[in-house]
Amino acid sequence: MRRPRTMAPIVASMVIVAAVSGMSAFAGDGTPVPHPPRGKGERCVADTGFMRKNHMKMLLHHRTEAVHLGVRTPQYDLNGCVSCHAVEGSDGKPVSFASDRHFCKSCHSYAAVSIDCFECHASRPEVQGKTAFVAPADREVAAIDRYLRDIRP
């Protein structure tokens, strides 16, 4: 007769992983959960549970609106997320995505989900007074719009 398997080895492994990675709390079902640092703002653009589940959908939607349609709103902008959730290192400066302390990395590493945002975007807040984006003048926007209408089939 086979002996029934127990969950003890799996639970013990989860406890060890949680202890090593700094996750001391567990979800209601006993699953270890990450605890990323809190943001600096009064509150997030949406509640925590919604953001955990849907932040990527929101970022992709914002990307489509901004890049493809030219609609730039600060509410779901990656720069806003990075600025609010920046974690300071021992030198007092925000850490980059290379650090295990980075806000995004804390959950993405836990969930074993790759992240490629920071291949193009800055993983630390921009220096005040310095920006990579300069809004084009209205006449430039109109010229681009005319060009795009002309090349469409």
Quote the number of domains for the chain: 2
DSSP letter for each residue of 59-112: HHHHHIIIIIT----STT-HHHHHHHT--B-TTSSBP-TTSTTSHHHHHHHHHT
Using DSSP, state whether 140 is helix, strand or coil. Answer: helix
Does 15 lie in the same domain as 53? Answer: no
Do 26 and 60 have their domain in common?
no
Question: Same domain, yes or no, for 126 and 62?
Answer: yes
**Claim to verify: residue 1 and residue 20 sit in the same structural domain:** yes
**What's at 85, amino acid-wise?**
H
Same domain, 71 and 28: no
Let me know whether 25 and 76 are in one domain.
Answer: no
pLDDT per residue, tens digit, the chain (153 aa), is: 565 566 555 545 554 444 444 444 556 677 777 888 888 888 888 888 888 888 888 888 888 888 888 888 777 788 888 888 999 999 999 999 999 889 999 888 888 989 888 888 889 987 665 544 455 566 777 777 777 778 876
Range of the domain at 48: 41-151
> The whole model's pTM is what?
0.58
- Is residue 11 within 8 A of residue 30, CB to CB? The reply is yes
